[in-house]
């Protein structure tokens, strides 16, 4: 066996791979958000995210360095989503190619400031905890259970319009809460 001329190479590789996993974890909110925007199906989004992680873990385990982790994950997510749609015999969620490209661009825009999304996510969790019961119920139905507006309206015996209005106000209020939270804690932004 030829001796390794630089015995520290292994440690350096390990550091790089650890950094790669840290980058994935830091980018997780955006990676999950991208998948949600891409597939627009809560159950499928879970499956795709988990499969993206498994593929990422596999390449990391093999020692491959991923230069741009968010971009790699977006590409992997598109591939996994396409495979899932084909397997299920379904059409892809975004048939309009221009819209799909605009959604991709929206996430690419954020690559340059990916680190702020960790702080935004933390602020958002804080704001979610402040929600009154009715809003909390709405958010739970929408995001934990993945219910479309029409289904929520059906279960609450309310009109679709009133649920849509409530959800719009709720989301804008959460966005405002996040902005205020970040502004009052500049160290986080």
How is residue 140 annotated by DSSP? I
Q: Is residue 180 at the binding interface for another protein, with CB under 8 A as the rule? A: no
Q: How far is the CB of 79 from another protein (least distance, A)?
A: 18
**Interface region with another protein, contact rule CB under 8 A, candidates 3-11, 34-42, 66-74, 181-189:** 34-42
Q: Is residue 85 at the binding interface for another protein, with CB under 8 A as the rule? A: no
Nearer to another protein, 79 or 118 (CB): 118
Taken in order 99, 102, 103, 104, the sign of the CA dihedral is: positive
Nearer to another protein, 3 or 183 (CB): 183
Nearer to another protein, 3 or 61 (CB): 61
Give the C-alpha separation, 43 to 84, whole Å.
12
Give the C-alpha separation, 34 to 49, whole Å.
10
Given 7, 9, 11, 14, the residue binding another protein (CB under 8 A): 14
Nearer to another protein, 169 or 185 (CB): 169
Q: Is residue 148 at the binding interface for another protein, with CB under 8 A as the rule? A: yes
Q: Is residue 92 at the binding interface for another protein, with CB under 8 A as the rule? A: no
Nearer to another protein, 2 or 8 (CB): 8
Given 61, 87, 132, 186, the residue binding another protein (CB under 8 A): 61
Q: Is residue 183 at the binding interface for another protein, with CB under 8 A as the rule? A: no
- Residue 136: in which H helix or E strand, if any? helix 133-139
Q: Which residue has the tokens 């209005």?
A: 165
Taken in order 156, 159, 160, 162, the sign of the CA dihedral is: negative
How is residue 157 annotated by DSSP? T
Q: How far is the CB of 22 from another protein (least distance, A)?
A: 7
Give the C-alpha separation, 26 to 60, whole Å.
16
Q: Is residue 76 at the binding interface for another protein, with CB under 8 A as the rule? A: no
CA-based nearest residue to 94, from 108, 80, 104: 104
Give the C-alpha separation, 89 to 48, whole Å.
16
């Amino acid at each position: 066996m030829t001796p390794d001329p630089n015995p520290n190479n292994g440690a350096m590789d390990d550091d790089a791979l650890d950094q790669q996993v840290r980058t994935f974890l830091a980018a997780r909110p955006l990676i999950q958000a991208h998948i949600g925007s891409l597939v627009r199906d809560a159950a499928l989004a879970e499956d795709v995210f988990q499969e993206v992680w498994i593929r990422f873990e596999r390449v990391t385990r093999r020692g491959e360095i991923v230069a741009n982790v968010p971009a790699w994950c977006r590409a992997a997510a598109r591939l996994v989503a396409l495979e899932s749609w084909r397997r299920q015999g379904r059409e892809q969620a975004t048939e309009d190619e221009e819209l799909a490209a605009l959604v991709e661009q929206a996430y690419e825009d954020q690559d340059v400031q990916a680190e702020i999304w960790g702080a935004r996510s933390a602020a958002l969790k804080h704001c979610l905890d402040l929600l009154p019961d009715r809003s909390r119920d709405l958010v739970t139905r929408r995001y934990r259970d993945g219910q479309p507006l029409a289904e929520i309206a059906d279960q609450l015996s309310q009109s679709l319009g009133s649920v849509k209005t409530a959800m719009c106000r709720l989301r804008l209020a959460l966005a405002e809460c996040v902005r205020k939270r970040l502004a009052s804690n500049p160290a986080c932004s």
